[in-house]
């Protein structure tokens, strides 16, 4: 925990998990100035704790903070806080394969007022929780063409609390219809695929890996996405960062050129997609061969995270 007031961060400290006391006029409750991150720590066979790409989470937290008028968190505060917390939480990092310690850094406004303006006071906190596998089974997703998650010029690229609040209702409707998640389309024309609710999405069509670019500012720049794209190059997998239109997606599912579809994210790492709903129709994906790209890249990524394979990109912090 650290507190921001009078233009500076103060008093970094470790506190036991406990309720917070907030005033009814707390700015976050009314205007949603709140940003967060999600990353994981793993234990290797020697019992060492390894953290995956915390530097990337640190940078993204501050990109999100800037968009929400929240002051930057200094790198030292983020990294030292994380290191101290992990030292204390060592025994909470599971050593069971597939399990990890989920880490949630977040910053939110703590000022009390009712006028609309940026808060002058904030709290930075990091909390942790041991977690197992997120999706044990392949998921069914629905292409959303009515509601929007993000629009150009909006806040889609930020990991801001309000983005998730706005996504809950459409996701809940899809879940009632039996789908696990939405595949969001662009907020303007609803004609191309952007990402899912908690993951970036990738497709293998005719042997090429296709994923949406993050240049429009409407998609979260996933750290798993970046890791998979980096490994894809190393694995000689052809990659296209471009928008896939809904009609192209439908065609690939109909004519059998769609070989794999999967989500990428910290929680799930790789979540295989077994079914895609488009415009009233359910399309099942073919059974994946064991040497499918998504299986191979998942294996490689896990091996790096658990310290079993060398780490040429410097992704793992000890």
Which residues contact ligand PMP by CB under 6 A? Answer: 38, 195, 198-200, 220, 222-225, 264-266
> To which H or E segment does residue 263 belong?
strand 258-265
Give the whole-angstrom CA distance, residue 307 versus residue 49. 10
C-alpha angle 154-197-226 in degrees, rounded to nearest 5: 80
- For the CB of residue 202, give the shortest distance to ligand PMP in the complex, in Å: 11
Cβ distance to ligand PMP smaller for residue 199 or 253: 199
Cβ 8 to ligand PMP, closest distance in Å?
29
Report the residue number, 26 or 167, with the smaller CB distance to ligand PMP.
167
Q: Which is nearer to ligand PMP, 220 or 285 (CB)?
A: 220
Nearer to ligand PMP among residue 2 and residue 270 (C-beta): 270
Distance (Å) of CA 92 to CA 116, 153, 280: 41, 41, 45
Taking the complex as a whole, the smallest distance from the CB of residue 62 to ligand PMP amounts, in Å, to: 14
Q: Please, what's the largest Cα pairwise distance for the chain?
A: 61
Q: Smallest distance, Å, CB 226 to ligand PMP?
A: 8
- Which residues is 124 bridged to in the sheet? 2, 107
Question: What DSSP element (H or E) covers 4?
Answer: strand 2-5
Q: How far apart are CA 29 and CA 287, in angstroms?
A: 46
SS3 annotation, 40-89: EEEECCCCCEEEECHHHHHHHHHHHHHHCCCCCCCHHHHHHHHHHHHHHC
| C-beta closer to ligand PMP: residue 113 or 147 | 147
Quote the least distance from Cβ 267 to ligand PMP, whole Å. Answer: 7
294/135 Cα distance (integer angstroms):
15
Q: Evaluate whether 157 touches 239 at the Cβ level (below 8 Å).
A: no
Q: How far is the CB of 222 from ligand PMP (least distance, A)?
A: 3
Distance CA 52, CA 39 (A): 7
Q: How far apart are CA 296 and CA 294, in angstroms?
A: 6
Considering the complex, state which of residue 27 and residue 244 has its C-beta at the smaller distance from ligand PMP: 244
Could you give the CA distance from residue 52 to residue 288 in angstroms, rounded to a whole number? 28
Closer Cβ to ligand PMP, 62 or 224, answer by number: 224
In the complex, the smallest distance separating the C-beta of residue 55 from ligand PMP, rounded to whole angstroms, is: 13
51 versus 220: smaller Cβ distance to ligand PMP: 220
Name the minimum Å distance from CB 187 to ligand PMP: 13
246 CB contacts (<8 Å, ≥6 apart)? 143, 145, 185, 190, 191, 192, 193, 278, 279
């Amino acid at each position: 925990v650290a507190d921001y007031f009078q233009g500076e961060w103060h008093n970094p400290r470790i506190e036991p998990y406990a309720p917070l006391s907030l005033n009814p006029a707390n700015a976050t409750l009314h205007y949603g100035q709140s940003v967060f991150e999600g990353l994981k720590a793993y234990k290797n066979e020697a019992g060492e704790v390894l953290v995956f790409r915390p530097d990337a989470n640190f940078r993204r937290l501050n990109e999100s903070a800037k968009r929400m008028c929240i002051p930057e968190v200094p790198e030292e505060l983020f990294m030292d806080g994380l290191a101290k917390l992990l030292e204390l939480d060592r025994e909470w990092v599971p050593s069971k394969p597939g399990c990890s310690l989920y880490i949630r850094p977040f910053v939110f406004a703590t000022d009390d007022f009712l006028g609309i303006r940026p808060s002058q006071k904030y709290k930075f906190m990091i909390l942790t929780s041991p977690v197992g596998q997120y999706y044990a089974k392949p998921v069914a997703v629905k292409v959303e063409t009515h509601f929007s998650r993000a629009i150009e010029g909006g806040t889609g690229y930020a990991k801001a609390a309000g983005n998730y609040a706005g996504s809950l209702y459409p996701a809940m409707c899809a879940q009632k219809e039996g789908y696990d998640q939405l595949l969001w389309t662009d907020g303007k024309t609803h004609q191309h695929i952007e990402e899912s609710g908690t993951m970036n999405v990738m497709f293998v069509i005719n042997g090429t890996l296709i994923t949406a670019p993050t240049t429009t500012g409407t998609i979260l720049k996933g750290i798993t996405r970046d890791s998979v794209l980096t490994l894809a190059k190393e694995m000689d997998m052809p990659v296209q960062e471009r928008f896939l239109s809904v009609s192209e997606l439908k065609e690939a599912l109909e004519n059998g050129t769609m070989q794999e579809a999967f989500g990428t994210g910290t929680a799930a790492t790789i979540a295989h997609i077994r079914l895609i709903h488009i415009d009233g129709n359910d399309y099942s994906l073919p059974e994946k061969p064991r040497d499918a790209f998504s299986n191979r890249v998942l294996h490689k990524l896990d091996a790096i995270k658990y310290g079993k394979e060398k780490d040429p990109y410097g992704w793992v912090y000890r």
